[in-house]
Amino acid sequence: MTPSKTFKQKLAHIIFDYDTVPAKMFDLVLIAAIILSVFVVMLDSVPGIHAVYGEFFYGLEWFFTILFTVEYGMRMYVASNRLRYATSFFGIIDLLSILPTYFSVFFPGTQYLLVIRFFRVLRIFRLLKLVKFVKEGEYVRNAMMASSRKILFFLFFVLVTVSIIGALMYLIEGEEHGFDSIPEGVYWAIVTITTVGYGDILPQTVTGRALAAMLMIVGYSVIAVPTGIVSAEMASMNERIEADLLKNDKCCKTIDHDDDAKFCKKCGKPLG
C-alpha cells in the first residue's frame, strides 16, 4: 500500500504546510471559504436580508458545512497524531463549527450557534504566513510578550481603581440616579476610565461629578503607562535589530540598495 501512503503524506503536506504551490492554494481556498461562510452567517442575521435570501443562505450554509465536514475528515485522516489534533484548539473549533448545522435539523434554533464559526477566522492568521506578513506579526507579538507582565500589572491597578470608585459612586449616587448596585458602579467606572463614555449611567450629584471628573483625568493620564511600556520596548527592539544588522554585516544583504549603488548605504562596505 505504498502509493496510498504516499498519497496520504502528500495530502498531509498540502493541508498542514504552506511552502509549495498546491499547499498555498489549499490554504487560500480554505480561508476564502471561511470568510465567505462567515459573511453568509453575518448577512443571514439581518432580518431584511434573511426575509429575501433566507432560502439561498440556508443552501449555502449546508454547502459550507459539508465542505468543512470533508475538510475535518481529511485532517483527521492525515493527522500523524489524531487525538492531539482532535483535542487541539483548532481541532475543537473545527468540529464545533460544523455541528450546529446538523443539530439544527433536530432542534430548530441551534443554527445560531454557528457563530462559533467566527473563531475559525482566527485561522486567517495563517494567511499572514502566505503573504509574508509573518515578520510584522512576530515584531508586534515579541513586543507584547516582553511587556505583557508590565501591562498586566497596569491592568491590575486599573481593576483595583474601578472597584473602589465604583463602590463609592454607588454610595454617592444611589439607585435614583441609575447606580443600581456596586457591579453597575464598577461597569460605569470602566466605561469612564477607558474614555468610552456611553452616557447610559450618569453621575448627577455634585460629589459624584467631582469624583467622575477625577476618574476621567486619571484615565486620561494613566493611558500613558501601557503606551509608554510598549513604545519603550519597541524602541529597544529597533535598536537591537539595527545593531545586529551593523555587527553581522547583514545590512549589505538585507537592505534594498539603489541599482547603481557600489557601497552599502548603512555600513559603507563595498557591495559584491
183 binds a second copy (CB under 8 A): yes
124 binds a second copy (CB under 8 A): yes
145 binds a second copy (CB under 8 A): no
- CA-based nearest residue to 73, from 58, 86, 87: 86
- CA-based nearest residue to 193, from 151, 231, 221, 227: 221
Q: Is 237 exposed, middle or buried (0-12, 13-18, 19+ CB in 10 A)?
A: middle
- Measured from the CB atom, the residue of 14 and 114 that comes closer to a second copy is 114
Q: Pick one of 14, 60, 190, 251: the residue that binds a second copy (CB under 8 A).
A: 190
Distance CA 190, CA 201 (A): 12
Scan residues 15-44 and list those touching a second copy (CB under 8 A): 38, 41-43
CB of residue 194 to a second copy, shortest distance in Å: 4
Scan residues 233-262 and list those touching a second copy (CB under 8 A): 233-239, 242
200 binds a second copy (CB under 8 A): yes
221 binds a second copy (CB under 8 A): yes
- Measured from the CB atom, the residue of 78 and 189 that comes closer to a second copy is 189
Q: Pick one of 23, 67, 118, 267: the residue that binds a second copy (CB under 8 A).
A: 118
| Residue 270 backbone dihedrals phi, psi, to 5 degrees | -65, 140
Q: How many CB atoms lie within 10 A of CB 35?
A: 14
CB distance 215 to 165 below 8 Å:
yes
x-or-dash pattern for a second copy, window 43-62, by CB under 8 A? x-xxx---------------
- CA-based nearest residue to 85, from 68, 73, 101: 73
Scan residues 83-112 and list those touching a second copy (CB under 8 A): 112
